[in-house]
Chains A and B, each alone.
Chain A
Amino acid sequence: MASIPAQHSDLASLSQPRVLASERTSAVPWYIWCAVFATTSATVGAYWDISWHESIGRDTFWTPAHLAIQLCGVLAGIAFGYLILHTTFAKNSPLAAASVHIFGFRAPLGAFIASWGGIAMLTSAPFDNWWHDAYGLDVKIVSPPHILLIIGVYSVVIGTLVLLAGHMNRTQADSHTTENRLILYINGIMLTQVMILLMESTQRVLLHSVRAYLVSAALPPIVLALASRLTRYRFAATWVAAFYTLFRIGLILVLPLFPAEPKLGPVYQQVTHFIPEEFPLLYIFPAFALDLLWQRTKSWSDWKVSAASGVVWASVFLAVEWPFASFLMSPASRNWFFGTGYLYYALPPASYAVRNVFYPSTYTALEFGLYMLACFLIGTLAIRWGIARGEWLGKIKR
C-alpha cells in the first residue's frame, strides 16, 4: 500500500542545504500557528458544547460551540490540504525535500496526520446526525460517532506536534524556546482533550472507585512523558498538567458568568447560568512528582524509569485525589471556586451527584491491592509508550 511514488526520484535533485537555508531561522511557520489555533478552537468548543448540553440542552449544528469544534476540522482540512497540494505541485517548494510520500502526494508527515484528522472530524458530523435519528439524541460523550470526532481532534493535535517537532529538528538555533513552549501548550491541549474522553469515568461520584484511577493511569501519563522527553524541560509534566488544571478552573470561574436556561425537559435542577465541568483532577501533584523523579533518573533505562514512574504516578494521584474527593462531597466545596454546586439540569434528585455521595464501591484489601498493581502496570506501559513517542518525535525531520 505504501509504495514509493514516482515523484520520489525528484528528491535526488533537491539539495539539503537549500531546505535548511529556507528554514535556517526557527521562526515558526504559518501553518503551525494555524494548527495551534485550530486545536485551541476545538478544545474551547468541546468544553463549551458540553456545558451547553448541561445548561441549555437543545442545540443545532450551528451553535457557536459546534462551529468552534468544526472550525478545527475545516482549518486542518484547508491549511494542510493547501500545504500538501503546494508541496506536491509547486515548483521549488521549500518543504519538498522534507516531505513524506502518501498516495502520490508529498508534504511533512504532520500535515497528512492533521488532514486525516480533519477529514475524520468532518465524517463524524453526518454519522453523528444519523446516530441521533436512529438511537435518539445522545446524552453521553462516548458514542461511536463522538469517538470518531475525538480521534479526529486528537489527530489534528498529534499532527501539529509532529509538524512542530519536524520543524524544530530541521532548523538550527541555539534554543527553540518558542517551539518548546508551543509543544508544552499543545500537550496541555492534548491532556485537556484526553480528559473529555475520560470525563464519564472520572466524575466526582466515581473518585472512590478504582475505575477513575485505572483510566487515569492509562492515558494522561502518555502525554506528560511525551512532553518531557521531547522538550527536555525540567518541569514539562508540571506545566502540561498546570495548563489542564488552569483551563478547567477557568471554566468554573467564567462559564457561570453567562446566563443560560434549559430548553429541554425534564428539568430536575434549576439552572440559570452555564454549568462548567467539575473541578480538575489533581494531576498536577503526580505530574510534579514525575518531573522530580525524571530529573534524578536520567541515567536509568527507559523501562526502569517507566516502572518507577508508573508507581509514583498512581500512588501520588491516589494519595491526593481520594481525600480531596471527600472534600468535594462536602458543603464546603459548593462555592464559586470548587463549583460542586453547579449541577446539570437533568440530574435526577436520586442521582449520586445531587445527593453528594460516592457511587458505592466496596473492595477487600486484596482486591484493592490488585487494582493498584494494575494501575502501576498500566501507568508503566503508558509512560514507556510516552517516552518512546517523545524520543521518536525528537528524531523526525519531515
Chain B
Amino acid sequence: MKAFRLCAAFLFAAVLGHAHVGSPDIYLEGKAGPYQLFVTVRPPLTIPGVAEIEVRSESPGVREIHAVPLAMTGAGSKFPPIADLLTASPRDSQFFTGSLWMMTSGSWQVRLTVDGAQGQAILSVPVPSMARASKRMEFGLGAMLSVLGIFLMAGITAIIGAASREAKLDPGQRPAPANLQSGRKATIVGAIIVVAIVVGGDYWWNSEADDYSLRIYKPLQMAASVSGANLSLKMSEPGWMQAKTLEQAAYRVFIRKMDDFVPDHGHIMHLYAIRQPGMDVIYHLHPEQREDGTFALALPSITAGHYKLYADIVHANGFPETMVSEIDLPELNSRALAGDDASASTIPWQRASTSNTVFTLPDGYKMEWLRNDKPLFANQGVSFNFRLTTPDGGVPSDMALYMGMLGHAAFVKTDGTVFAHIHPNGSVSMAALMLTGNSGGDGMNMEMPGMKMAVPNTVSFPYGFPSPGRYRIYVQMKHGSTVETGVFDAVTAGT
C-alpha cells in the first residue's frame, strides 16, 4: 500500500535549535521568591507536543511545584490553563519533574508556582516553541498498519462483490450465473474505487506532510557581505510562520516579522564571528539595524580568515532566533574594539587539550574553569563556573558588569552543529526573561541606580550540552574597561 510505504519515506528535517543552533533545551537558574531553582525544559520535537520539565530546588523546604504554560504576550497570557502538579522524586524531595503541552509555535513561558516553608512564589521560564522535525514510522507499526490496510482494502472489495452477487437472493437460493457475473463486475469496480481512494489518500497524506513541513522551524536567513571595513548582514524570510490567507492571519497568533526586534541586554543584535576551522579567533560584536532592515557594522581590526557568523536577535514577543552565515574576511587594520565588543585569539581546538582549565589572557590576567573531575554528559544540566584573577592570582579590584551581567558564554560544538549563547541565568534571552515579569536572579540586573554593588570575580552558567562530542567554550568577563574572553575546550560523553 503506497500510503504506508510512503510514510516510511517521511522525514525529516534536521533538529534545529532556536535562539541557539542545535541546542533546543532551556536551562535557567533563577529565584522564585526565596527559592533558588535550577530549571530544565526540554521542548517537544513536534508542535503541538509535550515538553518535559525538571526543577531542582537548591533551597530547602519546597513542598510542591505547579507548572503551567502560557503565551508570553497578548491575549493568551491572560488566562492560564489549569496548572499541573510536578512530581517530586522519591529519592530527592527537592527534585521535581513533569510534562507540559506546547500547543502552538511562538513565544511561550512556563510559570512555576512554588509552595514551601517560606510561602508561595513564582518563577516564569521563557520557552520558545516551534516544530523542529517530524517523526519516522517504526517498522513494526508500519508493517502492522500495512497488513491491516491491505486486509481492509481486500475486505471492502469482497463485501462489494458479495453485495452485488448474493444480497438480493431469497434465503437458500443459489446464485445464478448472472448473479456470479454481476458479483465479479462489482468486485472489479469496487477494487478500482478502493485503489482510487487509496491513491487519493496518498496524495492527501503527502499534502498534509508538506503542509506540516512548512511549520517546521526555519530561522531567518542572513547573507553577509563586506566592503572595506563595513560588514552588511541582509536578512530574508524562508517562509516560516507566515500567513498566506485571511483565515491564517486571523487564527495565527505569531507571524514572524523582520522589523520587530527588541534590545537584548542593550543590543539589538549580538554577533559572534568564529574563525574556521580552528575556532581559534572569535569576535563578539553588535551591529545596528538600518532603516532598510539591513544590519551593518564598521568592523574593528580583524585577523583574516573564513568565519562562521552567529547572529542573535529577539522578536518583540520574546521569541529569540540565531541567524547563521559564513564569510571570508580580509586582514583589517581599522578601529580598536570599543564598548561591549570583545575578541580572543588562541590555538586551534585541534591542538588544544580538554584538560586545560586555565586560560591566560593577553594582559596577563587568568580565567579559570572551576570544574571538578567528573565527566560531562550530554543533556545533563550543570553549572559551569569560571573565575577571573589578576596575573598574580588575586581578585581584580575593578571587576565590572559586562552588559549588565557577570559574564557571557558561548558554547560551540567543533563540528558547527551547536551554538548556544548563555547568560548567568541560563540559555534564555534576557529580553524574554524581562517580558515574563520575573523579579530577577543571580547575575542579572545588578545595575541599580544609586547603588554600588561589589561585583564578584566568579560567574556561573547553567547549561547542558545537547549531544556528545567536542565543544569550545568562550567566556567573557569584564574588569575596568577591559572585556576578557577566555577559551576552554570540553569533551562530552553520551548520556
CB within 8 Å of B: which residues of A? 1-2, 4, 8, 11-12, 14-16, 19-20, 57-58, 97-103, 109, 112-113, 116, 119-120, 123, 126-127, 130, 133-137, 139, 143-144, 147, 162, 166, 170, 261-270, 345-346, 348-352, 359-360, 392, 395-398
B183 interfacial contact with A, CB 8 Å: yes
Whether the Cβ atoms of B144 and A126 lie closer than 8 Å is: yes
Residue among A4, A57, A126, A162 with the most chain B CB within 10 A? Answer: A4
Given contacts A136-B49, A266-B71, contact A103 B158 (CB under 8 A): yes
> Taking CB as reference atom, which chain A residue is nearest B202?
A144
24 A-B residue pairings within 8 Å (CB atoms):
A1-B191, A2-B157, A2-B158, A20-B171, A57-B103, A100-B166, A102-B158, A119-B155, A123-B148, A123-B152, A126-B141, A136-B212, A143-B208, A144-B208, A262-B81, A264-B48, A265-B81, A265-B108, A266-B104, A267-B79, A346-B103, A348-B250, A348-B253, A398-B166
B290 interfacial contact with A, CB 8 Å: no
CA distance A4 to B169 in the complex (A): 14
Whether the Cβ atoms of A263 and B81 lie closer than 8 Å is: yes
Given contacts A1-B154, A4-B175, A143-B208, contact A127 B246 (CB under 8 A): no
> Taking CB as reference atom, which chain B residue is nearest A22?
B171
Q: Which residues of B lie under 8 Å from residue A395 when comparing CB positions?
A: 168
Neighbour of B76 across the interface among A109, A130, A166, A266, CB < 8 A: A266
CA distance A397 to B148 in the complex (A): 30
Whether the Cβ atoms of B171 and A397 lie closer than 8 Å is: yes
Whether the Cβ atoms of A396 and B171 lie closer than 8 Å is: no
Q: Which residues of A lie under 8 Å from residue B152 when comparing CB positions?
A: 116, 119-120, 123
Whether the Cβ atoms of A264 and B135 lie closer than 8 Å is: no
Which residues 124-151 in B have Cβ within 8 Å of A in the complex?
Answer: 131, 134-137, 141, 144-145, 148-149, 151
Neighbour of A1 across the interface among B79, B187, B253, CB < 8 A: B187
Interface residue tally on B, bucketed by range: 35 or more
A114 to chain B, nearest CB (A): 10
Whether the Cβ atoms of B161 and A1 lie closer than 8 Å is: yes
B195 interfacial contact with A, CB 8 Å: no
> Taking CB as reference atom, which chain A residue is nearest B152?
A120
Neighbour of A130 across the interface among B70, B137, B167, B169, CB < 8 A: B137
B15 interfacial contact with A, CB 8 Å: no
Q: Which residues of A lie under 8 Å from residue B457 when comparing CB positions?
A: none
Neighbour of B253 across the interface among A12, A14, A266, A269, CB < 8 A: A266
B316 to chain A, nearest CB (A): 17
CA distance A270 to B81 in the complex (A): 9
B170 interfacial contact with A, CB 8 Å: yes
Q: Which residues of B lie under 8 Å from residue A170 when comparing CB positions?
A: 171
Q: Which residues of B lie under 8 Å from residue A346 when comparing CB positions?
A: 103
Total cross-chain contacts (CB, 8 A): 195
CA distance A97 to B175 in the complex (A): 12
B174 to chain A, nearest CB (A): 6
Neighbour of B47 across the interface among A12, A136, A350, A392, CB < 8 A: A136
Residue among B70, B79, B135, B175 with the most chain A CB within 10 A? Answer: B79
**Other A-B pairs beyond A112-B155, A144-B208, A266-B77, 15, CB < 8 Å:** A1-B161, A2-B187, A57-B101, A100-B167, A102-B155, A126-B141, A133-B135, A136-B131, A144-B205, A261-B81, A261-B82, A263-B81, A265-B108, A267-B80, A351-B250
Whether the Cβ atoms of B250 and A134 lie closer than 8 Å is: no
> Taking CB as reference atom, which chain B residue is nearest A103?
B158
A342 to chain B, nearest CB (A): 16
Given contacts A15-B172, A137-B49, A139-B48, contact A102 B162 (CB under 8 A): yes
Whether the Cβ atoms of B159 and A135 lie closer than 8 Å is: no
B232 interfacial contact with A, CB 8 Å: no
Q: Which residues of A lie under 8 Å from residue B135 when comparing CB positions?
A: 130, 133-134
Q: Which residues of A lie under 8 Å from residue B23 when comparing CB positions?
A: none
Given contacts A2-B161, A266-B103, contact A133 B172 (CB under 8 A): no
Q: Which residues of A lie under 8 Å from residue B161 when comparing CB positions?
A: 1-2
Neighbour of B159 across the interface among A11, A112, A137, A147, CB < 8 A: A112
CA distance A2 to B187 in the complex (A): 7
Whether the Cβ atoms of A109 and B167 lie closer than 8 Å is: yes
Q: Which residues of B lie under 8 Å from residue A345 when comparing CB positions?
A: 79, 81
Q: Which residues of B lie under 8 Å from residue A351 when comparing CB positions?
A: 250-251
B266 interfacial contact with A, CB 8 Å: no
Q: Which residues of B lie under 8 Å from residue A348 when comparing CB positions?
A: 75-76, 250-251, 253
CA distance A351 to B248 in the complex (A): 9
Q: Which residues of B lie under 8 Å from residue A14 when comparing CB positions?
A: 171-172
Whether the Cβ atoms of B173 and A16 lie closer than 8 Å is: yes
Whether the Cβ atoms of B247 and A116 lie closer than 8 Å is: no
Residue among A127, A265, A359 with the most chain B CB within 10 A? Answer: A265
Neighbour of B172 across the interface among A4, A11, A261, CB < 8 A: A11
Q: Which residues of B lie under 8 Å from residue A102 when comparing CB positions?
A: 155, 158-159, 162
Q: Which residues of A lie under 8 Å from residue B134 when comparing CB positions?
A: 134-135
Given contacts A102-B162, A136-B49, A170-B171, contact A263 B76 (CB under 8 A): no
Q: Which residues of B lie under 8 Å from residue A267 when comparing CB positions?
A: 70, 76, 78-81
B260 to chain A, nearest CB (A): 17
Whether the Cβ atoms of A97 and B163 lie closer than 8 Å is: no
B201 interfacial contact with A, CB 8 Å: yes
Q: Which residues of A lie under 8 Å from residue B101 when comparing CB positions?
A: 57-58, 137, 263-265
Q: Which residues of A lie under 8 Å from residue B204 when comparing CB positions?
A: 144
B56 interfacial contact with A, CB 8 Å: no
Q: Which residues of A lie under 8 Å from residue B184 when comparing CB positions?
A: 2
Neighbour of B174 across the interface among A12, A15, A19, A103, CB < 8 A: A12
CA distance A112 to B201 in the complex (A): 23
> Taking CB as reference atom, which chain A residue is nearest B183?
A2
Q: Which residues of A lie under 8 Å from residue B104 when comparing CB positions?
A: 266
Given contacts A123-B145, A134-B10, A396-B168, contact A349 B201 (CB under 8 A): no
CA distance A89 to B338 in the complex (A): 91
Q: Which residues of A lie under 8 Å from residue B69 when comparing CB positions?
A: 265
CA distance A127 to B161 in the complex (A): 28
Q: Which residues of B lie under 8 Å from residue A350 when comparing CB positions?
A: 249-251
